[in-house]
Amino acid sequence: MSSHADAPAAPDKYLVGYFVEDDEIVAATKASRQAGLPIYDCYTPFPVHGLEAAQGLPRSWMTYACFLLALTGFLSSMFLQSYTQAIETPMWSGWPLNVGGKPFWPLTAFVPVLFELAVLFAGVGTALTLLAFLRLYPGQKPKFTLPGTTDDRFAIVLDTGASGFDENKAREVFGRHGASEISWVAPNR
């Protein structure tokens, strides 16, 4: 496993620590940051609570995307319903209907569709935004091949290309937190 132990830190190689418990990877990530080790990313089979904080990642902007998408759905729905039911101009017009003597622009009746389109845009849009941002689309190759990280193992990948990378310190920190394996990985090209 440690055949590369003496290899110089090359930018095309990354040092990976594997763990078998989610608690271990959170603790190891915290310790790695404290030791000044450059964390490239963590890979886990499921979302681990507290890992983002341990990595020191900033708050995701995905919630703002979700809100804006919901707003887009809301406004689209308002336009759709207003145009089809209420707007009449010489240039273009919808098809105003008299429904039981109700007003032609009945906001009360719009509520269900406003709600539904806001939810639809927010739900589908956020999922697509996330996939696009992560560049997860058909034909995409994984950056790394890290055995077990979609099954039952947790991995911390260190960016060994950073200046002053201390491999011995990394091995010490990983080992102290119960790493089951420490090995080098080259990114897929």
Partner 1 sequence: MSATHADSHAHSLAGPVSFSMPGGARNLAIGLSVLGAVLLGAGAATAGDHGAWRVFADLLIAAFFYTSLAIGGGVILAIMHVTRAGWSTVVRRIPEAVVTWLPMALVTMLVVGGLGMHHLYEWSHPDIVANDHLLRHKSVLLNPTWYYVSTVAIIGLWVAFTFKLRANSIAQDSDGNEGHTGSNMVLSVIFLIFFGFSMTVGSLFWLMSLEPHWFSTMFGVYQFAGAHKAAAAVCTIILAMLLSTGQLPQANANHLHDFGKMIFAFSTFWAYIWVSQFLLIWYANIPEETGYYILRQDGGWMALFGLNVILNWVIPFFVLLPRPNKRNPKVVVPVAIVTLLGLWLDVYLQVMPAASQFAAHHHKLDLHGVVFGPGEIGATLLLGGGFILVVLKMLGKASLVPLKDPYLQESLHHQQ
Q: Is 63 in the site for partner 1 (CB under 8 A)?
A: yes
Q: Is 119 in the site for partner 1 (CB under 8 A)?
A: no
Minimum separation from the CB atom of position 50 to partner 1 (A): 5
Judged by beta carbon, residue 3 or residue 108, the one nearer partner 1 is 108
Minimum separation from the CB atom of position 159 to partner 1 (A): 26
Minimum separation from the CB atom of position 181 to partner 1 (A): 20
Judged by beta carbon, residue 10 or residue 107, the one nearer partner 1 is 107
Q: Is 50 in the site for partner 1 (CB under 8 A)?
A: yes
Minimum separation from the CB atom of position 68 to partner 1 (A): 13
Q: Is 49 in the site for partner 1 (CB under 8 A)?
A: yes
Q: Is 109 in the site for partner 1 (CB under 8 A)?
A: yes
Dig out the tokens for 44 from the structure.
């886990």
- What 3 state SS string does the chain have? CCCCCCCCCCCCCEEEEEECCHHHHHHHHHHHHHCCCCEEEEECCCCCCCHHHHHCCCCCCHHHHHHHHHHHHHHHHHHHHHHHHCCECCCCECCCCCCCCCCCCCHHHHHHHHHHHHHHHHHHHHHHHHHHHCCCCCCCCCCCCCCCCCCCCEEEEECCCCCCCCHHHHHHHHHHCCCCEEEEECCCC
Alpha carbon separation from 136 to 12, 128, 130, 132, 163 (Å, rounded): 22, 10, 9, 6, 30
Judged by beta carbon, residue 96 or residue 147, the one nearer partner 1 is 96
Minimum separation from the CB atom of position 157 to partner 1 (A): 23
Minimum separation from the CB atom of position 53 to partner 1 (A): 8
Q: Which of 111, 127, 132, 186 binds partner 1 (CB under 8 A)?
A: 111
Q: Which of 3, 34, 89, 108 binds partner 1 (CB under 8 A)?
A: 108
Q: Is 67 in the site for partner 1 (CB under 8 A)?
A: yes
